Amino acid sequence: MQTLADGVAISAAKKLNGNRDGISDALAAARDVVEGGTDTTGKLRYQYNRTMSFSDSALKFSTSSDGASGWLNADAAKVSPAGLAYVKVDTNDLSADYGTVNLLFTQFLSNFSSVMVSHSAVAGRQRLKLTPLAICAMSKDASNPFEKRQNPNPDTYSELTEYGFRRGISYNLLKLSPNTSTAVNYLVDPISLPPKGGNFSTSIIGPYVCTGTVELPKVIGATLNLQSGFPINSLVDQLNSRFNLSNGQCSAVAAPPDSNIKQFTFGSINWMNTPSGQVANPASSANRFETVADLAPPNNQSPANYGPLWAFARPVPWSEYAPGRDEPAKGYVTFNASQPVWNSLYSTGPTLKTYPKDGQSGLDSPAYFAQVVKPTTNYPGVAYRRVLNVPLLECPSAGVPGKVVAIGRFFMTVQANTNGIYAEFAGVTLHEEVSGAVELYQ
């Protein structure tokens, strides 16, 4: 019964993603553990040869491993799935026959001919691959964060923007705000969700910035413990552990460098004419702190003002986006490299040469894969360590920021410094795809 409970709990918890489908998938996974298999692969059986059946009532869901917020049945969980990160299974809620042990000999010495054996288990994800940095979603329409960006001129192309960000564009993550002329960003408590919290000291936060993780079960749809102003002066070395430059602040075992530590500085890129800076130029106004790349087209910017493009990600046609559907596992189909596309997407265009090319195959390939510098120590490093998973917050025009609406993926093009974190937008996820391994808690 313990094996049964543990297997059901682990399999179900792996499917939770913060939405209704995740609850349904968890129930299906639990049922498959109990009822799946074949005679040759091994069906679960009781009393030697009888097969088992699963009941949805055996599975409960909660936002905490101890059930402090209450355990919800499947129907209630489907109504409010956000934040549900843990499952509990109790074999008492399955057939009583499964745990019945006949006392063939002991019954001669007692009044009991059988006993009922049961077990419960709790499983869930505790650690998320998430940087303890939060920024505001930049979408101008909070109710429609996936927007169609289209130049009004003839023969133009429509581009997908996500929560106000454009793929392939580099941003200084500490120099943005959707509602004010000054930058807004936050430090995230990596350990506790409200009402607990207050873990903001560098000694606590530092290791989590090194690893790019938090000890939180779910964040999408949740309200985080935040401290205004990400303390970049104290955490720049921890961020740069991805480039093998932590100055002793990070453990190379827990926080290894990326497998490619090449910096794509704006003066050294070779797939487009040299930009004027490491990120798209700022275009702050009285009520927004954004970049020239985010201004409504046509904005007639100089090509150099867009900063380096496409080191890791490429722009996506609006036609690839399907409302209500997740991004395909292999990603969206991106725009082809052509001067008409760039003239439409980037004003007069960045004076196209081509996408970055792989030196061996000669094929188009993001620079991250085509131009590689391996770390000389702590080799071989870990791929995608330079991708920061950053919570995007719902930020009203007045008052404190609200819940996490999505997780943005940002690729560090160069090392961070005390003036900012320079990263290329690579899309968002609306689910907990950044989750760590499922663990048993009971």
Higher pLDDT, 13 or 298: 13
pLDDT at residue 7 in the model = 86
Residue range 53-62: average pLDDT? Answer: 86
343: pLDDT strictly greater than 80: no
Determine the pLDDT at residue 353.
61
Q: What is the mean pLDDT of residues 269-292?
A: 88
Asked if 414 and 278 touch (Cβ cutoff 8 Å), the reply is: yes
Q: Which residues contact 210 (CB under 8 A, 6 or more apart)?
A: 238, 241, 246, 249, 250, 251, 254, 255
pLDDT of residue 398: 79
pLDDT band at 360 (very low <50, low <70, confident <90, very high): low
pLDDT at 408 over 90: yes
**285-305, pLDDT tens digit by residue?**
778 999 999 988 767 788 889
More confident residue, 145 or 351: 145
Q: Is the pLDDT of residue 96 over 90?
A: no
Q: Looking at the predicted structure, is the pLDDT value of residue 340 above 90?
A: no
Question: Rg of the chain over CA atoms, in angstroms?
Answer: 26
How far from 307 is each of 158, 350, 439, CA to CA, in Å?
Answer: 21, 9, 43
Q: 266 to each of 93, 307, 335, 388, how far by Cα in Å?
A: 62, 7, 22, 20
pLDDT given at position 231: 97
pLDDT digits (tens, 9 = 90+) for 97-149: 665 666 665 555 566 666 667 688 888 877 789 999 999 999 977 778 999 88
Instruction: Give ∠ CA 247-249-254 in degrees, rounded to 5.
Output: 115
Q: What is the mean pLDDT of residues 418-428?
A: 96
**Residue 49, pLDDT above cutoff 70:** no
Other beta carbons within 10 Å of 173: 26
Amino acid symbol at 370: A
428 against 106, higher pLDDT: 428
The pLDDT score that the predictor gives to residue 45 is 66
- The per-residue pLDDT for 261 is 96
Of 155, 164, 176, 163, residue with least CA distance to 341: 155
Q: What is the pTM of this model?
A: 0.78
pLDDT tens for each residue of 376-394: 887 789 999 999 999 999 9
153 pLDDT band (50/70/90 cuts)? low
Q: Which of 135-149, 330-344, 347-361 holds the top average pLDDT? A: 135-149
CA distances from 394 to 30, 64, 326 (A): 34, 23, 21
Question: Which pLDDT belongs to residue 116?
Answer: 67
Closest CA to 196 of 60, 69, 77, 71: 69
**Each residue's pLDDT tens digit, 304-332:** 898 998 899 999 999 999 988 888 888 99
Least confident span in 9-18, 173-182, 238-247: 9-18
**pLDDT, averaged across the chain:** 85
357 pLDDT above the threshold of 70: no
